């Protein structure tokens, strides 16, 4: 009798948890917010972009971490959406030729020079 009760309880728990397991599996596969899988950053200067960027800030921070090892950024533009008025192309004229610029705004990440 006890065995049947435990088996029935486990079956009910698994049945109740199956929608959550399905949801988690779909979330990992579809990655609706763009945070599960690795995506390249976005270069606004060159016009290249991803097909979908639901979470631009996350992608921009990951891009900064990934590319900083090879590009060694030494100049940064950080700011709100208003800082998009200052492009890396404009700013590089005021910096040494060896400068590596990263532009990051609050609303979206932008890359590099």
How far is 41 from 64, CA to CA, in rounded Å? 8
The DSSP string of 83-95 is: GGGS-HHHHHTTS
Express each pLDDT in 87-104 by its tens digit: 778 888 888 888 888 877
How far is 18 from 12, CA to CA, in rounded Å? 10
Q: Which helix (H) or strand (E) element contains residue 112?
A: none
Is pLDDT at 25 greater than 50 in this prediction?
A: yes
pLDDT for position 90: 83
- Overall average pLDDT of the 46-64 stretch: 61
Express each pLDDT in 36-53 by its tens digit: 876 555 544 444 554 555
């Amino acid at each position: 009798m006890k065995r049947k009760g435990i088996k029935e309880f486990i079956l009910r728990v698994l049945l109740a948890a199956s929608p959550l397991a399905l949801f988690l599996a779909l979330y990992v596969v579809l990655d609706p917010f763009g945070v599960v899988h690795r995506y390249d950053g976005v270069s606004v200067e060159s016009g290249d972009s991803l097909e979908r960027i639901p979470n631009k800030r996350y992608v921009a921070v990951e891009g900064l971490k990934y590319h900083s090892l090879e590009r060694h950024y030494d100049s940064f533009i950080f700011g709100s959406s208003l800082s998009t008025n200052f492009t890396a192309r404009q700013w590089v004229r005021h910096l040494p030729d060896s400068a590596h610029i990263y532009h990051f705004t609050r609303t979206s990440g932008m890359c590099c020079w």
